[in-house]
C-alpha cells in the first residue's frame, strides 16, 4: 500500500487494532494516540499497531513512509520514545537472522565496500547540495559560537585542523573524504597537501571540480588499498561503515600510513552499548551494512597500536545539525520533487528527524578521538 493510499484531504484518525499495549507504551513516553500535541501520533490505518508489534522498528518506519500514521514533530516524538526506552519492549524483527548473518559474514568486506555508495551517497548530488552547507560537509557541525550551518561546519573543519596541529607542507590522508570539504578547507587555510578517498563516484567527480587548482587528490578507493605515508590522517563520518570485523584492520591500515610522529583524528557517531547489527530500518533504507561503534569496540581495535590522546563528545550538536539539514531539505523540496518521490520525501524526513531525536535523547553520541602512534612528547593539549 503506497503513501498515497490515504490522501491528506480525506484522512481521518482511526482507533487501530491491538492498541492497548502500544497506547500504554507511548503514554509512558508522554505520547498520545490521535492527540493534539505536536509529538502525538495520528493513526490512519487500523492495522498500524499490528504492524508495529509484528515488525518492530522496521514496521514503524515503513508504515510512516506509506502514510499509515503521521506526526507533526517526529524529532520530539523520537526523543520521548527513546528516553522512555519504548523500542526495547517491541519485537526486533529480523534481528536474530541479522545477528547470525553478521557473525558469519563480513558485511563490510572489500567486495561489499562500494554498496553503501550505490544505496546512499550516489543518490544525487542535487539532493546533498540542497540539504548541506555551502561546503557540502555531510558530518556533524560544531555549533560552539556559531549561529548558522555554514559557520558551524567551518568551525568543525577548523577544529579538526587545530586538533591535529596542521602545518604548511604536511601531507594528509582523508579517509571517507565525501565531496572534499575537509580537503579543500585544509589546503586553502593551512597550506597542506591532501589525498582524499571515497567509495562514491558521485562524490569524487564533484569533489574534484570543487578542489580544482588545489594540492588535493581525490581517489575512488577503499581504505584497505590506500598507499603512501602521511603526516596526518583524518576520517570524518566514515568509520560507521567499517564494521566490527574490520575495526582492527582499519586502525592497522591507519598506523601503516602514518609517520611515527603523526596524529590521527577519528570523527564518528558513537553508541552507548556495543552491538553487532544496526537498526533494521536504517540498515534497509539509509545506511546498509553500517554499524555505530561503542567505546569498548574502538578501545579493543586501537589497543597496542595507538595512544589515545583525546576523546571529545559533542553529540548534542548533531541534533542541531540534523534539524538544519531538514530545514534545508524542506526549503528545496519543490525543486527536488521533480526527481524524488513523495515516498522518498517521507523516508528522508523520517531519517533526519528521528536521528535528531536520538541525539537529543543522548542515545547516540558524536566523538572526535585523537590518536598518536607512541604518545605526544610532553602530552597532548586540546586546542580551545
Active site positions, annotated: 355
Reported residue count of the chain is 384
Contact status, residue 292 vs residue 238, Cβ threshold 8 Å: no
The answer to whether 217 and 78 have CB atoms below 8 angstroms apart is no
> Cell numbers 589525498 label which residue?
195
For the record, the C-alpha cell of 342 comes out as: 513523495
Q: Where are the alpha helices (DSSP H) in the chain?
A: 19-28, 48-65, 74-83, 95-104, 115-116, 125-131, 149-163, 181-190, 201-210, 247-257, 280-285, 295-302, 316-331, 333-336, 342-360
Which DSSP string do the residues of 40-65 spell out, in sequence order?
A: SEEE-STTHHHHHHHHHHHHHHHHHH
The continuous run of DSSP H or E covering 259 comes out as strand 258-271
Q: Is the separation of the CB atoms in 246 and 106 below 8 Å?
A: yes
Query: Which set of grid coordinates corresponds to residue 106?
Result: 563480513
CB 229 within 8 A of CB 338: no
Joined grid coordinates for residue 82: 527513546
What is the rounded CA–CA span in Å between residue 132 and residue 118?
19
CA distances in angstroms from 130 to 177, 325, 327, listed in the order given:
19, 9, 10
Taking Cα atoms as reference points, which of 207, 199, 219 lies closest to residue 181? 207
Taking alpha carbons only, the member of 92, 202, 229, 87 closest to residue 136 is 202
- Strands 364-372 and 307-313 turn out to be antiparallel
- Separation of alpha carbons 91 and 52, rounded Å: 8
- Asked whether 139 and 236 are in contact (CB, 8 A), the reply is yes
What does the block give as the cell for 359?
Answer: 541525539
Amino acid at each position: 500500500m503506497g503513501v498515497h493510499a490515504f490522501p491528506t484531504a480525506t484522512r481521518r484518525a482511526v482507533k487501530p487494532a491491538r492498541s492497548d499495549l502500544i497506547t500504554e507504551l507511548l503514554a509512558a513516553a508522554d505520547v498520545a494516540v490521535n492527540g493534539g500535541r505536536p509529538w502525538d501520533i495520528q493513526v490512519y490505518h487500523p492495522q498500524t499497531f499490528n504492524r508495529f508489534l509484528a515488525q518492530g522498528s522496521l514496521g514503524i518506519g515503513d508504515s510512516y513512509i506509506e502514510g499509515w500514521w503521521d506526526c507533526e514533530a517526529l524529532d520530539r516524538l523520537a526523543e520521548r520514545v527513546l528516553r522512555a526506552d519504548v523500542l526495547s519492549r517491541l519485537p526486533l524483527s529480523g534481528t536474530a537472522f541479522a545477528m547470525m548473518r553478521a557473525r558469519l559474514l563480513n558485511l563490510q568486506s572489500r567486495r561489499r565496500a562500494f554498496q553503501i555508495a550505490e544505496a546512499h551517497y550516489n543518490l544525487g548530488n542535487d539532493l546533498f547540495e540542497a540539504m548541506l552547507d555551502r561546503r557540502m560537509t555531510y558530518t556533524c557541525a560544531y555549533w560552539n559560537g556559531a549561529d548558522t550551518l555554514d559557520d558551524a561546519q567551518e568551525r568543525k573543519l577548523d577544529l579538526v585542523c587545530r586538533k591535529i596541529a596542521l602545518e604548511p607542507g604536511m601531507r594528509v590522508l582523508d579517509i571517507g573524504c565525501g565531496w572534499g570539504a575537509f580537503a579543500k578547507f585544509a589546503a586553502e587555510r593551512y597550506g597542506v597537501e591532501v589525498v582524499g578517498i571515497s567509495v562514491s563516484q558521485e562524490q569524487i567527480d564533484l569533489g574534484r571540480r570543487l578542489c580544482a587548482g588545489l594540492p588535493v587528490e581525490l581517489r575512488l578507493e577503499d581504505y584497505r588499498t590506500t598507499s603512501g605515508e602521511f603526516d596526518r590522517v583524518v576520517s570524518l563520518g566514515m568509520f560507521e561503515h567499517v564494521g566490527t570485523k574490520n575495526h582492527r584492520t582499519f586502525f592497522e591500515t591507519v598506523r601503516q600510513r602514518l609517520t611515527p610522529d603523526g596524529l590521527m583524528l577519528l570523527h564518528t557517531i558513537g553508541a552507548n552499548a556495543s552491538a553487532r547489527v544496526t537498526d533494521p530500518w536504517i540498515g534497509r533504507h539509509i545506511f546498509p551494512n553500517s554499524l555505530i561503534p561503542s567505546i569498548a569496540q574502538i578501545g579493543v581495535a586501537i589497543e597496542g597500536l595507538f595512544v589515545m590522546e583525546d576523546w571529545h563528545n559533542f553529540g548534542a550538536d548533531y541534533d542541531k545539525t540534523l534539524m538544519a539539514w531538514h530545514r534545508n531539505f524542506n526549503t528545496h523540496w519543490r525543486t527536488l520533487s521533480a526527481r524524488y518521490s513523495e515516498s522518498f520525501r517521507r523516508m528522508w524526513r523520517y531519517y533526519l528527524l528521528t536521528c535528531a531525536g536520538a541525539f537529543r535523547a543522548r542515545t547516540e553520541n558524536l566523538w572526535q578521538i585523537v590518536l598518536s602512534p607512541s604518545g605526544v612528547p610532553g602530552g597532548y593539549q586540546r586546542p580551545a
